């Protein structure tokens, strides 16, 4: 380091008694109702994916229909929001994993 160059500034530090982050609360395991709901939701999603595959194999366009349905249900939202909903939709993700795309 050049003797005429001042040293870099030190990063700010917390006051001595300040806690950096509050301790995290432990989450309780889901109750039987929550678990049953999750299982039912997963079964419904799997059934919807299987039905969509059958429709696709019969020449239909379930991917396009689902995307259109999401767009209609979310009119008034930004294109970015709708695109995110389409990208994160569990049924569409399952169809994409099977190689199905919009016709």
**DSSP one-letter string for 13-72:** ---TT--SSPPPPPPPPPPHHHHHHHHHHHHHHHHHHHHHHHHHHTT--HHHHHHHHHHH
The rounded mean pLDDT for the chain is 89
Name the band, by pLDDT with cuts 50, 70 and 90, for residue 82.
very high
Count of other CB atoms within 10 angstroms of residue 94? 17
pLDDT at residue 77 in the model? 96
Q: What CA–CA distance (Å, rounded) separates 34 from 40? A: 10
> Is residue 70 situated within a structural domain?
yes
Instruction: Identify the pLDDT of residue 6.
Output: 77
The structure tokens 């300040």 sit at 18
The answer to whether residue 61 sits within a structural domain is: yes
pLDDT band at 97 (very low <50, low <70, confident <90, very high): very high
- 76 exposed, middle or buried (CB, 10 Å; 0-12, 13-18, 19+)? exposed
Q: How many domains in the chain?
A: 1
Residue 43: give the domain boundaries. Answer: 32-97
Q: Is residue 2 part of a domain?
A: no
Q: Does the residue 102 lie in any domain? A: no
For residue 12, being part of any structural domain is answered with no
Classify residue 53: in a domain, yes or no: yes
Output the pTM of the full model: 0.66
Q: Is the pLDDT of residue 1 over 60?
A: no
Q: Would residue 43 count as lying in a domain? A: yes
- pLDDT higher than 90, residue 30: no
pLDDT-above-70 percentage for the chain: 85
Please check whether residue 51 lies inside any domain of the structure: yes
């Amino acid at each position: 380091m050049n003797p005429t160059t001042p040293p870099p500034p030190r990063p700010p530090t917390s006051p001595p008694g300040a806690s950096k982050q509050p301790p995290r609360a432990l989450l309780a395991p889901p109750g039987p109702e929550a678990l049953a709901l999750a299982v039912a939701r997963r079964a419904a999603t799997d059934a919807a994916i299987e039905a969509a595959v059958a429709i696709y194999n019969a020449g239909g366009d379930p991917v396009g229909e689902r995307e259109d349905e999401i767009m209609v249900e979310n009119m008034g939202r930004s294109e970015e929001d709708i695109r995110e909903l389409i990208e994160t939709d569990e049924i569409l993700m399952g169809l994409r994993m099977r190689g199905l795309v919009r016709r």
